[in-house]
Structure 1
Amino acid sequence: MKSISPRSRALLSRTLAALLGGYALTCASVIFLGAVLPLPKSQAILAASLTSFAVYTAVIVWAFATPNLTRIWRVLLIASLALTGAGLLLGGDA
């Protein structure tokens, strides 16, 4: 069985970061924006959901533009946790 080359492994990790990490960050941003936008709850969720398309696209581009793979994963993890936590704390009564 052939082993995966380091270059292929890096590409796979970057792709997973863009797809899965981007999805996590996008969900976290929707939670946060839905909680903090000064709109009625339904409109805030709708506006946050529409913004999520831009966030997801930006994360995908950023994941392939940043040279440091460890930094990509670290930023995605910390930002996702911070936005989710802040959104849940500020959201109050879901």
Structure 2
Amino acid sequence: MTPAVHHRLSLVSRIIAGAGGGYLLTSLIAMLMFLLLRAGGVARDAALLAPALASFLIYAAIVMAVFHARSAARAWLWIAGASLPVALLLLVLNGGIGG
């Protein structure tokens, strides 16, 4: 594989990681924020609005981190490594899969 092709594939992989993986991670974090705010006694409308507004900053930070990573593989590992504990914590707080 030529260096130019490798660079293009790496760029495409980062774009997919930033757009798709970043959206997934941002959604998980927003859901977790909602559950934690509700558990803390915050009203439902405020608990919905705060994560929605924060998600814009979170998504931008994740996309920047993906493009700051040394390689596309590290970016994917970072996205997966950050998504897994958040998803597991969501499952625990929400009462399991059928919760």
- Specify the alignment match of 1:16 in structure 2: 16
Q: CA deviation at 1:45?
A: 1.8
Take 1:73 and 1:30, find their aligned partners in 2: how far apart are those partners? 20
Take 2:8 and 2:58, find their aligned partners in 1: how far apart are those partners? 26
- Specify the alignment match of 2:59 in structure 1: 56
Contact 2:67 2:75 in 1 (8 A): no
Over aligned residue pairs, what C-alpha RMSD do you find?
1.8
Q: CA deviation at 1:89?
A: 2.1
Normalising by structure 1, we get a TM-score of: 0.83
Q: CA deviation at 1:75?
A: 1.6
Normalising by structure 2, we get a TM-score of: 0.80
Between the aligned residues of both structures, percent identity stands at 30
